Copies of this chain bind each other. A is one copy, B any other.
C-alpha cells in the first residue's frame, strides 16, 4: 500500500532516459515506457503523449533507427535501435546531467 514516490520529469531529461532505455537493446515505444519505469524502480512514469513525439524527434536526429516488427506474442510494433550517434549523444547528455547535478550540489552546501 505504500504509495510510490513518483519523480517529476524536468524538461530536457526525457531524451536521455529514452536513449538509456534503448541502449539496453532494441525496444518498441510502449516497451520504452515500461523499461524506464522498471529501471527507475517505479519512480519514473513517462506519458505516451510525451514519448511518441520524443521518439520521433530522436529518430529525426539520427540517434535511433526504427523498423516495424513483431513482439513475442506476434503483435506488430515499431522497434527502435540505438545508433552510433545515439550512443555518443547519450554520453553527452549524461555528462551534461552530471555537471548540473554537481553544480546544484555545490549550491546546496554553499553558505
Contact = CB atoms under 8 A, between A and B. Distances in A.
B100 A10 contact: yes
Nearest to A97: B104
What is the total number of copies of this protein in its complex?
2
B8 A11 contact: no
* Secondary structure class of chain A's binding surface, majority of residues: helix
A40 interface: yes
10 contacts: A7-B96, A7-B100, A8-B12, A10-B10, A10-B11, A17-B107, A39-B107, A39-B110, A43-B106, A97-B104
The CB with the most chain B CB atoms within 10 A, among A16, A41, A102, A110, is that of A110
In this complex, the interface size class of chain A, counting residues with CB under 8 Å from chain B, is 35 or more
